[in-house]
Amino acid sequence: KNQVEQSPQSLIILEGKNCTLQCNYTVSPFSNLRWYKQDTGRGPVSLTIMTFSENTKSNGRYTATLDADTKQSSLHITASQLSDSASYICVVQNSNSGYALNFGKGTSLLVTP
Amino acid sequence: GAGVSQTPSNKVTEKGKYVELRCDPISGHTALYWYRQSLGQGPEFLIYFQGTGAADDSGLPNDRFFAVRPEGSVSTLKIQRTERGDSAVYLCASSLMGTGSPGANVLTFGAGSRLTVL
């Protein structure tokens, strides 16, 4: 069973609207959680990285939250743009692993005019 | 270079052939990773290099897969006797360090090499 589960699997929203993507994880012990954006045909690009002590981090119109107690994270996109259409991948690192990352399958977001 | 460069961007080959995929990481990054990504899935770990050595190759699916990084910079992923199931996007990533603080191992990914085995 994947240790990082994302929902929804896919999402379609109108340009200008907000949306929230969810990530639940079972990775333990926890080190950090990352959100990546992956455009079609491109490699993933880092949006945010949060450690245990951080519960929110913003990067422009992207705001990530982390609840380490419930092992949940969300990525909120404000005032969506067509260029936000991409796959958003949640990645969790185990503090024992040193380098190994656990990837979710991603949420595919489509922003339409 | 400014980013992680992967070549070729696309490779179509026939079943049973040998394939090499190249990764040129960010200059100065000691850690290099190979991942494989199938359609609709997240990246799947293959191998991790710290410098010239493969610190963890537990993700390589079988002995047809091999990777090298002889000078601690460019890496080559080698696939022998390719099978249709090998078709995927092969992603390379590098980070300043493989371990330590999260900020030291933020991965920068290349655009990937799309392999299609007919």
The residues, any chain, with a CB within 8 Å of residue B82's CB and separated by 6 or more, are: B13, B14, B15, B16, B17, B18, B19, B64, B115, B117
Contact across the interface for B106 and A103, Cβ inside 8 Å: no
pLDDT digits (tens, 9 = 90+) for A43-96: 999 999 999 889 999 999 999 999 999 999 999 999 999 999 999 999 998 877
B96 touches chain A (CB under 8 A): no
CA pseudo-torsion sign A94, A99, A104, A108: positive
A42: nearest CB among B103, B107, B111: B111
Cβ contacts (< 8 Å) between B41 and chain A: which residues? 105-106
Q: What is the DSSP letter of B80?
A: -
pLDDT digits (tens, 9 = 90+) for B33-70: 999 999 888 899 999 999 898 888 989 999 999 999 99
